[in-house]
Amino acid sequence: MNEISVNRLPCGLVLVCERISGVRSLGLSWLVPAGAARDPGEAVGLSALWEEMVQRGAGDLDSRAHADALDTLGVSRSVSVGTFHHSYSATMLGENFGAAMPLLADMVRSPRFAEADLEPSRDLCLQALDSLADDPQERVIVELRSRHAREPINRSSYGTREGLERASLDQVRQGWAERARPEGSILALAGDVDPDRAAEQLNTLFQGWEGAAPGIEMTDTTDRGAHHLDDETNQCHIAIAWDSPTESDPACWLERTATAVLSGGMSGRLFTEVREKRALCYSVWASYGADKDYGRSVAYSGTTPERAQETLDVLLGELERINTSAGTVTQSEFDRAIVGMKSRLVMSGESTSARASALAADVRKIGRARTLEELASNVDAVTLEGVNDYLSARSLGEITVCTLGPSALELKR
C-alpha cells in the first residue's frame, strides 16, 4: 500500500504526497484559489485571462525562455480554470522535481503579466467564447450550469464578453495578487517523490508567501425549470441537471453506481432505451460530479429536431423510472456497474498525474486524501439492496432542462 502524507506548510499551503514504488515519473497537481467563482462581478473572465497570461513568462524569464526551460527538463504541463481554483498540472521525471518546481512556482508567485500580452490573451479568450457557437453540445451544458447552480458557482470558465472586454491590466495584476495566495492552495505530488525533501524545498521557495484569497459568497437563487436556446441547426441538444449527494455523503457511492447503470457504456440503460431500441439519438450519456457543498448529475442527448420531443420524453422517463420500484436495478446491471467502477480506479492508479489530481481533489472536497485501497473498499461496500433502497427513496427533485435547436420542447412532468 502506498503511503500518503498530508502536511500544512508554514505559509498555509497544504502539501499532499503519495510515494508510488516502482515508478520514475512524478505527477503534480496544484490548485490555486483563483477560479471563475472568485472573479469580481464586474470582470467575470479574469480567471480565463489569467489562464493565458500565467503561461507567458514568469520570474526573470520571458515566455519563450520559460517554456524552453520546462521543455529542457521534460516537463509536460497544462493550466486550466475551474469553479474554485486555477489548476496547474505537470508530469515529469521525479529526479527533475527540484529543478522544475522553481519554474512552476514562478508561474504562481511572479507571473510577468506584460502589457504586450494582454490584448493577445484577451483575443484568445474571446475566440474561445465565440467558439461555443460551433460547439452546441458544450454551449447547452454551459447554459444548463448557469441556470441550475447558484451564483457565482454557476459561471463558466469562458467568462463573459463584457467581463473580458472590460478587464484592464491593473485588474489582471491586482486580482491575481489577491487570489494567488497559499491559504486555500493545495499541492499534490504522486509517484517518485520524497515527501520530506519536497516539503523542505517548498518551504524555501514559498518563504515570504502569505495570505488568503477572498471568500466566495453564494446566493440562494437559481433559475431552474425549462429553457431553450434558439438556433437554426439540423440538430437538437438536450441537457438535464438535478441535485445529487455531496462527496462527503456516503450516498455518493450509491449515486455513482446508479449513474453507471444509466450510462455505463453500450450496456447502460440510456444507450439501450434511447438509442438502441428506439434509434432516437446519436449520443446519450449521464454523469455525476460531487463537491464539498453540493452534488450535481447531468444527462445529455443529441438528436434531430424531428425526434427531439420524443428523445426528451424517453430520456426524462428513464431518469425518473430508475427512482421507482419499476426501475429496480438488476443483478447483472449492478455487477457491470461495479466492475466498471473498479476498473476505472485501477487504471487511474497507474497514472501518476491522475493520482496527483485525485489527491488534490480529495483534500479540497473532504479535507483529506484517500488511498486507492480506501476508494476500492467504498465500492466493495455497495450492495444491490443498498442501491435499490437508495433509489426507491430518491427523486430527481427540482430539475433544470436546457435545449438548443430550432424549436422549444415541452417538459412533460
- 22 vs 26, 94, 173, 192, 393, CA distance in Å? 12, 12, 42, 8, 46
pLDDT value, residue 33: 98
Q: Taking Cα atoms as reference points, which of 209, 211, 45, 203 lies closest to residue 129?
A: 45
pLDDT value, residue 75: 98
Instruction: Give the pLDDT confidence of 76-85 residue by residue, as tens digits.
Output: 999 999 999 9
pLDDT value, residue 343: 95
In this prediction, residue 264 has a pLDDT band, given cuts at 50, 70 and 90, of: confident
Instruction: Give the pLDDT confidence of 313-354 residue by residue, as tens digits.
Output: 999 999 999 988 778 999 999 999 999 999 999 999 899 999
Amino acid found at 330:
T
CA–CA distance, 111 with 58 (Å, rounded to integer): 4
Pairing mode, strands 14-19 and 281-290: unpaired
Q: Average pLDDT in the 231-241 region? A: 95
Question: For residue 288, how many other CB atoms are within 10 A of its CB?
Answer: 20
Residue 195, preceding bond cis, omega within 30 degrees? Answer: no
Instruction: Give the pLDDT confidence of 174-220 residue by residue, as tens digits.
Output: 999 999 999 999 999 999 999 999 999 999 999 999 999 999 999 99
In this prediction, residue 371 has a pLDDT band, given cuts at 50, 70 and 90, of: very high
Q: Average pLDDT in the 8-35 region? A: 97
pLDDT value, residue 268: 94
Residue with grid cell 500500500, as numbered in its chain: 1
In this prediction, residue 123 has a pLDDT band, given cuts at 50, 70 and 90, of: very high
CATH of domain 225-405: 3.30.830.10
CATH of domain 4-205: 3.30.830.10
Instruction: Give the pLDDT confidence of 270-286 residue by residue, as tens digits.
Output: 999 999 999 999 999 99
Average pLDDT of the chain?
96
- Give the 3-state DSSP-derived string for the chain, with helices as H, strands as E and coil as C: CCCEEEEECCCCCEEEEEECCCCCEEEEEEEECCCHHHCCHHHCCHHHHHHHHCCCEECCEEHHHHHHHHHHCCCEEEEEECCCCEEEEEEEEHHHHHHHHHHHHHHHHCECCCHHHHHHHHHHHHHHHHHHHHCHHHHHHHHHHHHHCCCCCCCCCCCCHHHHHHCCHHHHHHHHHHHCCCECCEEEEEECCCHHHHHHHHHHHCCCCCCECCCCCCCCCCCCEEEEEECCCCCEEEEEEEEECCCCCCCHHHHHHHHHHHHCHHHCHHHHHHHHCCCCEEEEEEEEEECCCCEEEEEEEEECHHHHHHHHHHHHHHHHHCCCHHHCCCHHHHHHHHHHHHHHHHHHHCCHHHHHHHHHHHHHHHCCCCCHHHHHHHHHCCCHHHHHHHHHCCCCCCCEEEEEECCCCCCCC
Instruction: Give the pLDDT confidence of 148-171 residue by residue, as tens digits.
Output: 999 999 999 999 999 999 999 999
The pTM assigned to this predicted structure is: 0.95
The answer, yes or no, to whether residue 1 has pLDDT greater than 70, is no
Extents of the domains making up the chain: 4-205, 225-405
* Max Cα–Cα distance, the chain, nearest Å: 65
pLDDT value, residue 257: 97
Find out whether 377 and 253 touch, Cβ atoms under 8 Å.
no
Find out whether 376 and 345 touch, Cβ atoms under 8 Å.
yes
CA–CA distance, 62 with 270 (Å, rounded to integer): 50
In this prediction, residue 253 has a pLDDT band, given cuts at 50, 70 and 90, of: very high
CA–CA distance, 35 with 51 (Å, rounded to integer): 10
